[in-house]
């Protein structure tokens, strides 16, 4: 996240009465993922919850047009970077007896969309990762889950819609609720999985998608 955007989020949280710090992190790099977790532990003494949301959208090409570099860019952030974050978050949580991790996948993990093979592959990989990782730490007090958002009005989608005028109605049409999600609706699912309300939930990928994956 750009530092200005990160600091803006910090201000928003503080104005709402919360506490926050922004740590600039490139999730492609394991050292950055480690540094992000260390910064949180230094400031707060422990890590109880984490949400890994960094991601890049599909580059909108057919399989035979995708270069090896384009494939790697998507998989290396959406899956390898997510692994780095989980690795260091889990290590910190093991020291204090547990925690909850929520990884952001996509409804595209189950309901494919055109020109999205590398994105859908990366997001489907997250589903396998959370199931296996959840097993490894189920008796260690660490819950590991995913949320699969449907089309949600964030800068990622706004950018894609700006270059493709037909995209907005096409995306809305594949969601039975016939609309996009709002970021706050995705956050509700994330907050529930992070909370003690989900204390018996691990290894799941929760669709928050207006019915997209029900079709």
Ligand X SMILES: NC(=O)c1ccc[n+]([C@@H]2O[C@H](COP(=O)([O-])OP(=O)(O)OC[C@H]3O[C@@H](n4cnc5c(N)ncnc54)[C@H](O)[C@@H]3O)[C@@H](O)[C@H]2O)c1
Least distance in angstroms from the C-beta of 93 to ligand X? 20
Residue 174, interface with ligand X (CB under 6 A)?
Answer: no
Residue 145, interface with ligand X (CB under 6 A)?
Answer: no
Residue of 53, 59, 187, 191 interacting with ligand X (CB under 6 A): 53
Residue 25, interface with ligand X (CB under 6 A)?
Answer: yes
For residue 189, give the H/E element and its range: helix 183-194
List, in order, residues 6 or more apart from 169 with CB less than 8 Å away. Answer: none
Residue 1, interface with ligand X (CB under 6 A)?
Answer: yes
Region near ligand X per CB under 6 A, out of 11-19, 51-59, 94-102, 110-118: 51-59
Structure tokens at 54: 């960094």
Least distance in angstroms from the C-beta of 109 to ligand X? 9
Residue 214, interface with ligand X (CB under 6 A)?
Answer: no
133 C-beta neighbours (distance < 10 Å), count: 21
Region near ligand X per CB under 6 A, out of 9-17, 62-70, 134-142, 149-157: 149-157
How far apart (Å, rounded) are the C-alpha atoms in residues 207 and 215?
12
List, in order, residues 6 or more apart from 151 with CB less than 8 Å away. Answer: 107, 157, 171, 172, 174, 175, 180, 181, 209, 210, 212
Residue 151, interface with ligand X (CB under 6 A)?
Answer: yes
Least distance in angstroms from the C-beta of 92 to ligand X? 18
Residue nearer to ligand X on the CB measure, 94 or 185: 185
Region near ligand X per CB under 6 A, out of 8-16, 34-42, 49-57, 131-139: 49-57
Q: What is the residue-wise DSSP string for 55-119?
A: --------GGG--HHHHHHHHIIIIIIHHHHHHHHHHHHHHHT-EEEEEE--GGGTS--TT-HHH
How far apart (Å, rounded) are the C-alpha atoms in residues 102 and 130?
9
Question: Cα(first)–Cα(last) distance of the chain, in Å?
Answer: 33
Strand 99-104 vs strand 49-52: parallel, antiparallel, or unpaired? Answer: parallel
Residue 26, interface with ligand X (CB under 6 A)?
Answer: yes
Binding track, positions 103-122, relative to ligand X; x by CB under 6 A: -x-x----------------
Residue nearer to ligand X on the CB measure, 11 or 140: 11
Give the catalytic positions in this structure: 119
* Positions in the binding site for ligand X (CB under 6 A): 1, 25-28, 53-56, 77, 104, 106, 149, 151-152, 154-157
């Amino acid at each position: 996240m750009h530092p200005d955007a990160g600091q803006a989020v910090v201000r928003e949280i503080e104005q709402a009465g919360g506490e926050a710090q922004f740590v600039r992190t490139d999730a492609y790099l394991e050292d950055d993922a480690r540094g992000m977790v260390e910064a949180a532990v230094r400031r707060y003494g422990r890590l109880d919850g984490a949400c890994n949301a960094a991601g890049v959208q599909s580059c909108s090409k057919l399989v035979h047009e995708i270069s090896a570099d384009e494939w790697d860019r998507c998989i290396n952030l959406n899956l390898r970077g997510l692994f780095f974050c989980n690795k260091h978050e889990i290590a910190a949580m093991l020291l204090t007896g547990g925690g909850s991790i929520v990884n952001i996948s996509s409804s595209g993990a189950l309901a494919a969309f055109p020109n999205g093979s590398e994105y859908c592959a990366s997001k489907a990989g997250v589903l396998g990762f959370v199931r296996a990782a959840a097993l490894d730490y189920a008796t260690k007090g660490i819950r590991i889950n995913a949320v699969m958002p449907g089309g949600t009005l964030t800068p990622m989608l706004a950018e894609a819609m700006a270059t493709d005028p037909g995209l907005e109605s096409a995306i809305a049409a594949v969601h039975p609720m016939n609309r996009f999600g709002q970021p706050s609706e995705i956050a509700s699912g994330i907050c529930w999985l992070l909370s003690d309300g989900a204390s018996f939930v691990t290894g799941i990928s929760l669709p928050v998608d207006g019915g997209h994956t029900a079709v």
